[in-house]
Homo-oligomer: A and B are copies of this chain.
Amino acid sequence: MRKKPPTSQDVARLAGVSQSTVSYVLTGSRPISGATRKRVEEAIDKLGYHPNSGARTLRSQRSNVIGLMVPEADSDDGVLMVFIGAIAREAQRFGYDILLVTAQEGAQGIRRVVRTGVCEALILMELGRHDERVATVIESGLPFVTIGKPDELPQGSAVDLDFEMLGRMVVQRALRQDCDRLLLFGAPGQKRHRNDVSRFLNGVESQADGTDLQLLLDAGAVADVPERAVQVTAAGERTALFGITGATQALFALAATGALTDPSRLMIALTGDDLSAVSPLLAAVPRIDPRRVEISELAVRELVRLLREEGAGPRVTLVEPRWLDD
């Protein structure tokens, strides 16, 4: 049997104050004497009172819920879960809940959550360079933050990894470790339409410019990277390998062929995870931390700023990748 939760009316009665006083204690939008506050808080505690979300939302137009538009999970995506977990926890800290909106719903889904008023703000993940969803959110007028930076967003904020810097870091490392070429896999050439890939390649190319480093943009399947790595490496030369997507998979595939122990190869991984837990063979692989937790937390905090600070303008925050083995 479900028993009805207590209302602010019940709290008021028990504390011997008016119902509005209870509300003011909760919202803090009016000074309350210490004695009264104390009695009200005791009553709240005693009854286990929580303000009814529907009523609060109806009245205040603020639902304390942030919509999170998640991309479809392509099976292997543990990465996504890291973002979602971190976002949910950080939102919690600020008193917000996270409502999932599937990418499948598209712009229509955004319209729905906006019109029904379930969400008072949105976080969008994995946008294309020109994404119809951005236009829809802007039109709705809801504050929003994107994780990943689309080409144009005059109205909302964005938080993302600094992919240009990532590109420069990879090239620097390859050069420092005397590599003759850098094999970029995960079909980066074909994915230039993605904003992050395009920025990454800009970084790579600008840093490699004027050096002897030969760039190879692999176009094949990640599973075949090991084979390709062998093919391209001439005797006495050294090839660095890096994948902006599917990196861990290729890493395993490489390890499987023994390529990692071969001094003519230098694998660089984009992950914050401890790879030695998977296999001791991976312990020595240099890693760059993509800082997903930090990015998630920043996205939430940026949204909170947009929500709470009067007249706060949108802004773009780029997080620096970090070496994990220096």
Contacts and interface: CB of A to CB of B under 8 A. Distances in A.
Interface of A: 1-3, 5, 48-59, 63, 65, 68, 70, 72-73, 75-82, 84-85, 88-89, 92, 97-102, 104-105, 111-118, 140-142, 221-224, 226, 248-249, 252-253, 255-258, 260, 272-274, 276-282
Given A73-B81, A81-B78, A278-B222, A51 B116 contact: yes
A116 B98 CA distance: 15
B2 A142 contact: yes
A295 B282 CA distance: 34
Contacts of A49: 115
Contacts of A279: 223, 226, 249, 252-253, 256-257
Contact of A141 (B2, B105, B117, B257): B2
Contacts of A281: 253, 256-257
Given A54-B58, A65-B118, A97-B100, 15 more contacts: A2-B142, A5-B115, A49-B115, A53-B63, A54-B63, A54-B117, A58-B58, A78-B81, A84-B100, A223-B277, A249-B279, A252-B255, A255-B256, A256-B279, A258-B258
Given A116-B51, A277-B223, A1 B82 contact: no
B48 A115 contact: yes
For this chain, the copies found in one complex come to 2
A76 B75 contact: no
A107 B59 CA distance: 28
A233 to B, nearest CB: 19
24 contacts: A2-B142, A5-B115, A49-B115, A50-B111, A52-B116, A53-B54, A53-B57, A54-B54, A54-B56, A54-B58, A58-B58, A73-B82, A75-B273, A78-B78, A78-B80, A88-B100, A97-B99, A100-B100, A223-B276, A252-B252, A252-B279, A256-B258, A256-B260, A257-B281
Q: What are the 5 tightest A-B residue pairs by CB atom distance, in nearest-first order?
A: A2-B141, A54-B57, A50-B115, A78-B78, A54-B58
Nearest to A83: B73
B105 A92 contact: yes
A290 B213 CA distance: 46
Given A57-B57, A102-B85, A117-B53, A223 B5 contact: no
A79 B51 CA distance: 35
B278 A252 contact: yes
A77 to B, nearest CB: 5
Contact of A58 (B55, B85, B111, B249): B55
Contacts of A97: 99-101, 113, 118
A280 to B, nearest CB: 6
Nearest to A5: B115
Given A54-B54, A58-B54, A256-B255, A102 B88 contact: yes
